[in-house]
């Protein structure tokens, strides 16, 4: 086994013995289960109400019945995007914030680097191992969601729906990778794991809440009411500014593509699969940018400053 894979395997092994990580991971899976249950229950209630209405109308002799409500299977899982953008990001931070600091404190960083191991191999091994942890967690969430759709919702997802869900899992992985690489990069330079955790959370709040809120505020303020006709008009320049602000938030990208993949956005169920996956691919590339940036900063810092391991 290569040096990188030895380190990756150890990271994988230790992550699942970290009580904080395991607790949040279990919470993440439970929320996902609960979300499917609530989603299924809501859809069932909607159908029951429709059936009752139809029965009443039929009994009254009404000939024109309301159309059957259109239920998109994947909308049952719509909360998944929210859980990943919040709990998933925190999980990734929990995985990465201690990555290097704990090794420094335990003296193992010096021991590892006194073996035939290069610094880049150590970082790559850690990144692969921790990414593996995220992937396995998302795989569990995927399997749970499909099973729950079958068992609780009584719905057999189509191949296209499974592909959409798989694409969402892929996007979730790339999204969580942002926070993993961020906390790992901070963990290389900073001396206190509490500070790394805090700074990572501040960045997460910025991406997830502050920037989208700024965009929304800008959008809300970018309308004028024509006093003569009374018509409300959107100011095009300000709408563009609002969109530009949104583009700074990886969470916005993730939520937007998530809503399209799970057919929450109106009309997204009719988008041609080719067009949808082209959009998925573009978003994937955009979401990779912060990870590449944080990863590069992390590697450059760790490779250039040899005294970091002596702190």
User: Of 14 and 136, which CB lies nearer to other proteins in the complex structure?
Assistant: 14
The site map against other proteins for 86-125 (x = CB under 8 A) is -------------------xxxx-xxxxxxxx--------
Closest approach, Cβ 111 to other proteins, in A, equals 6
d(CA 186, CA 202): 12
Report if residue 1 touches other proteins, rule: CB under 8 A: yes
Classify 225 as helix, strand or coil.
strand
Tell me the HSE value of 291 on the side-chain side, using a 13 A CA sphere.
Answer: 21
Count, residues near other proteins per rule CB under 8 A: 25
Which of the ranges 5-13, 72-80, 155-163, 245-253 carries the binding residues for other proteins, by CB under 8 A?
5-13
Exactly one of 52, 120, 306, 311 binds other proteins (CB under 8 A); that residue is 306
* Residue of 268, 25, 287 whose CA lies nearest to 161: 268
* Contact of 295 with 188, CB cutoff 8 Å: no
Report if residue 309 touches other proteins, rule: CB under 8 A: yes
User: Of 97 and 207, which CB lies nearer to other proteins in the complex structure?
Assistant: 97
DSSP state of 269: G
Report if residue 192 touches other proteins, rule: CB under 8 A: no
| 193-205 and 89-96 helices, crossing angle to 10° | 160
Site for other proteins in 16-75 (CB under 8 A): 17-18
User: Of 113 and 199, which CB lies nearer to other proteins in the complex structure?
Assistant: 113
Closest approach, Cβ 101 to other proteins, in A, equals 13
| 159-189 and 273-304 helices, crossing angle to 10° | 20
Give the Cβ contact number of residue 120 at 10 Å.
Answer: 12
Q: Per DSSP, which regions of the chain are E strands?
A: 223-225, 232-234
User: Of 112 and 174, which CB lies nearer to other proteins in the complex structure?
Assistant: 112
d(CA 269, CA 51): 24
Closest approach, Cβ 114 to other proteins, in A, equals 4
User: Of 111 and 150, which CB lies nearer to other proteins in the complex structure?
Assistant: 111
What are residue 224's DSSP bridge partners? 233
The site map against other proteins for 6-25 (x = CB under 8 A) is xx--x--xx--xx-------
Phi first, then psi, for residue 62 (nearest 5°) are -75, 130
Phi first, then psi, for residue 152 (nearest 5°) are -90, -45
User: Of 252 and 302, which CB lies nearer to other proteins in the complex structure?
Assistant: 302
Closest approach, Cβ 196 to other proteins, in A, equals 19
Closest approach, Cβ 102 to other proteins, in A, equals 9
Which of the ranges 35-43, 62-70, 157-165, 301-309 carries the binding residues for other proteins, by CB under 8 A?
301-309
User: Of 8 and 84, which CB lies nearer to other proteins in the complex structure?
Assistant: 8
Phi first, then psi, for residue 156 (nearest 5°) are -100, 110
d(CA 71, CA 92): 33
Closest approach, Cβ 185 to other proteins, in A, equals 21
d(CA 223, CA 200): 35
DSSP state of 63: S
Beta-carbon contacts of 259 under 8 Å, excluding residues fewer than 6 positions away, are: 78, 81, 265, 268
Closest approach, Cβ 188 to other proteins, in A, equals 16
Contacts with other proteins by CB under 8 A lie at 1, 3, 6-7, 10, 13-14, 17-18, 105-108, 110-117, 306-307, 309-310
């Amino acid at each position: 086994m290569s040096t990188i894979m030895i380190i990756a395997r150890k990271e994988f092994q230790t992550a699942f013995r970290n009580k904080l990580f395991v607790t949040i991971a279990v919470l993440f899976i439970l929320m996902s289960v609960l979300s499917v249950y609530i989603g299924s229950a809501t859809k069932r209630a909607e159908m029951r109400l429709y059936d009752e209405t139809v029965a009443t109308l039929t009994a009254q002799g009404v000939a024109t019945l309301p159309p059957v409500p259109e239920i998109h299977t994947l909308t049952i899982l719509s909360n998944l995007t929210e859980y990943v953008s919040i709990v998933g990001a925190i999980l990734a931070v929990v995985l990465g914030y201690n990555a290097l600091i704990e090794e420094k404190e335990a003296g193992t960083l010096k021991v590892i680097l006194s073996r035939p191991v290069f610094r880049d191999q150590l970082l790559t091994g850690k990144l692969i191992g921790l990414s593996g942890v995220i992937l396995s967690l998302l795989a569990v969430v995927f399997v749970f969601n499909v099973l729950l759709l079958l068992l609780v919702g009584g719905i057999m997802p189509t191949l296209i729906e499974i592909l959409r869900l798989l694409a969402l899992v892929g996007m979730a992985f790339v999204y969580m990778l942002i926070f993993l690489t961020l906390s790992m990069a901070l963990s290389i330079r900073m001396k206190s794991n509490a500070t790394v955790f805090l700074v990572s959370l501040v960045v997460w709040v910025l991406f997830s809440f502050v920037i989208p809120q700024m965009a929304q505020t800008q959008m809300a303020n970018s309308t004028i009411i024509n006093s003569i006709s009374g018509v409300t008009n959107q100011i095009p320049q300000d709408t563009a500014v609002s969109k530009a602000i949104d583009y700074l938030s990886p969470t916005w990208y993730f939520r937007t593509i998530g809503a399209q993949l799970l057919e929450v956005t109106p009309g997204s169920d009719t988008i041609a699969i080719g067009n949808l996956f082209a959009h998925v691919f573009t978003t994937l590339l955009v979401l990779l940018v912060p990870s590449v940036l944080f990863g590069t900063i992390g590697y450059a810092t760790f490779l250039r400053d040899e005294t970091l391991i002596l702190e």
